[in-house]
Structure 1
């Protein structure tokens, strides 16, 4: 009989796009590698159009209980808002061999305790999804009384967790040195980066372009205009810059504020009306990947990231990555050997790295080949899930 892996997606707002990110791909590839029945259990405050299954993963929607905003502020453990998840565990905990969560937060505290009480042999896995700043903050000792209480409870939660994965080497090494919430986690922490969904390319017969087939295109992909993405910095870097034969596509849903800034940018840079394009959201994955496939360069201007999903996507298509120094930047560029990492919010430095590409000072064909090699070795989900600590956790060793 197959064992069961259940993801409790307690974060509000599961959407179809999440299934092609770590939320859907981590459990899918784990299930495929270790022959597991996989369920993702979710509760949405708004009705979303979602399938009943994703590949071999069952999607189980449970009731969302609407809570008054005043109660939300009081209910730090989200006991009321997560009521459906407690009901689900009471009914199904004994059938769940492995329980998985995203983000180590106190709203999972009693869910984990309940599961461990109902299923003594059950194992709990957390995909941490944190940057180094979150870890450093957790280890600060001079804190308020409320923070001390929260930290105390988080340390209890950490004891109940059997396996924790973190996405970047920098954060992983920091936890090994100093712990999380000042708790030593060396016996249960594992470095697991986000990866690329190679199976998608096979299923959809996506033909990878050779370097010779690529075009002089740079792209950035994300939630355009949000504070963390800092896309305004890209517009500043491109201001009065001679792009020569290069084109730039800014891809993703955008805020009205950013649209105004983009329009102003085009007004002041009429020569870029046809060369710097704000595409809007591209939900069709094949169409989105066609941009990666055509492009030679990927740009990321973020102020902070855990480990951006766009990184392994850009790497898999051989894009030369120019990125600010956020979570995962050094891992995905092999410490700046095959891409380049700039200081956060350093517009001039970022602009100069783009100029080097435009002026043919970078051997993009060499970087293309190195990117494909690194992607194959370290950033494909079907290989990532073969990690020896995953094998041990899922009783393969």
Structure 2
């Protein structure tokens, strides 16, 4: 058996179990059966059960953030185990990744080093990330980055926008960089979905409701605008459901929003978190349109889950939007983030929903081929083991 260790610098809570950092080693094992997977992460009160590997106890007891003590603890763990680890999987292109990667390669030169980036070129600027806005150290930073890239065996990036951005930064990236979109867990979705459910005139979003990043206000204002006008949303009796935990203090905003926009009553709903997978995926199955209003995202797994379950997508221009919608064929990308533009996109989606839904079903096999983990993971497997 080959030891594969994923070293995470954040606590692995139950909500993270469908994210790439867990899915990648699990699906790699489908193709490389000799992998012995261990996922190592700091301990917190909400840790997921160690189904997929061992937890690494954080001596500080911290539950939030990334502390110096956590860094030291993970560093010590790596010192003690580097020679036993044949494949090291690190997350993000950050200072701790450079530290752990260097130590690992010093102690185990034959080991394979894989970096999974989580990089939003619209949010981050390489000049800021790599300190290139400081002229004095510009050359040194670039030399170090190129040196570190050469130490790796594979680096993955989840969007073509990010891929092109990084390749333009350094030709060294092109030698090791692989475009691999974050996928959906087809096995789990199929386990919980129901074949008898019919589509209804429903719009959904799934997010941390009220967080700054997710920009829920944009969707709320768009629905209010549609309710105040002679729209198809009203004429065809559509409804919108916001699914997910409601941020502290945002319930007051919702209450005031209902008071100011009474026409949204009975049209706009907030469900809170839905932990039951069968219930959650039934919402995806019954809806026709999925909206994402984020100010920034490196990817947005909810979009590919919604697409797989037959939803037309309306999304802000996050880094992955063009990839997921196939350059706008399977959804609308709203570049101007005002509610008039977003409401117009929703109205257009409603007017043409039969045509859009038909296109999605015709391309369903291509969606699976591109975005299911079972298929997407082959890009990493071929780079590391072929």
Is TM more than 0.5 here? yes
1:318 aligned onto 2:310 = yes
Sort the Cα spacing of 1:273 and 1:24 in 2 relative to 1 into closer, same or farther, 3 A.
same
Secondary structure class of the residue paired with 1:165: strand
Q: Within 2, Cα distance between the matches of 1:302 and 1:371? A: 26
Q: Within 1, Cα distance between the matches of 2:46 and 2:313? A: 34
Structure 1 counterpart of 2:24: 26
Aligned residues: 375
Higher mean alpha-carbon deviation, 93-102 vs 293-302, is at: 93-102
Deviation of 1:92 (Å) = 2.0
Structure 2 counterpart of 1:189: 177
Deviation of 1:262 (Å) = 1.8
Q: Deviations 1:334-363 (Å, cap 9, x if unpaired)?
A: 000121111152321111011123345762
Deviation of 1:150 (Å) = 6.1
Structure 2 counterpart of 1:229: 214
Secondary structure class of the residue paired with 1:126: strand
Secondary structure class of the residue paired with 1:323: strand
Deviation of 1:201 (Å) = 3.0
Deviation of 1:95 (Å) = 2.0
Sort the Cα spacing of 1:149 and 1:22 in 2 relative to 1 into closer, same or farther, 3 A.
same
1:105 aligned onto 2:91 = no
1:207 aligned onto 2:190 = no
Sort the Cα spacing of 1:362 and 1:322 in 2 relative to 1 into closer, same or farther, 3 A.
farther
Deviation of 1:146 (Å) = 7.5
Question: Unpaired segments of 5 or more residues in structure 2?
Answer: 228-232
Sort the Cα spacing of 1:23 and 1:139 in 2 relative to 1 into closer, same or farther, 3 A.
closer
Sort the Cα spacing of 1:371 and 1:235 in 2 relative to 1 into closer, same or farther, 3 A.
farther
Deviation of 1:120 (Å) = 1.4
1:177 aligned onto 2:176 = no
Structure 1 counterpart of 2:230: none
User: Please, which of 323, 347, 350 is the counterpart of residue 342 of structure 2?
Assistant: 350
Q: Within 2, Cα distance between the matches of 1:265 and 1:390? A: 49
Deviation of 1:374 (Å) = 3.3
* 1:1-397 map, 5 Å: 2-11=1-10, 13-35=11-33, 36-44=35-43, 46-53=44-51, 57-58=52-53, 60-66=54-60, 80-133=69-122, 134=124, 136-137=126-127, 138=129, 141-143=132-134, 153-179=144-170, 184-202=172-190, 204-208=191-195, 213-242=198-227, 243-244=233-234, 245-360=237-352, 363-370=355-362, 372-387=364-379, 390-394=381-385, 397=386
Sort the Cα spacing of 1:214 and 1:98 in 2 relative to 1 into closer, same or farther, 3 A.
same
Between structures 1 and 2, the one with greater helix share: 2
CA contact (8 A) 1:298 1:322 kept: yes
Q: Deviations 1:356-387 (Å, cap 9, x if unpaired)?
A: 23345762431331452332220000011122
Higher mean alpha-carbon deviation, 364-373 vs 161-170, is at: 364-373
Q: Within 2, Cα distance between the matches of 1:140 and 1:205? A: 46
Deviation of 1:186 (Å) = 0.7
Deviation of 1:81 (Å) = 2.6
Sort the Cα spacing of 1:128 and 1:319 in 2 relative to 1 into closer, same or farther, 3 A.
same
CA contact (8 A) 1:135 1:171 kept: no
Sort the Cα spacing of 1:163 and 1:205 in 2 relative to 1 into closer, same or farther, 3 A.
same
Sort the Cα spacing of 1:361 and 1:40 in 2 relative to 1 into closer, same or farther, 3 A.
closer
CA contact (8 A) 1:305 1:326 kept: yes
Secondary structure class of the residue paired with 1:116: helix
TM-score by length of 1: 0.86
TM-score by length of 2: 0.89
Q: Within 1, Cα distance between the matches of 2:40 and 2:353? A: 50
CA contact (8 A) 2:183 2:373 kept: yes
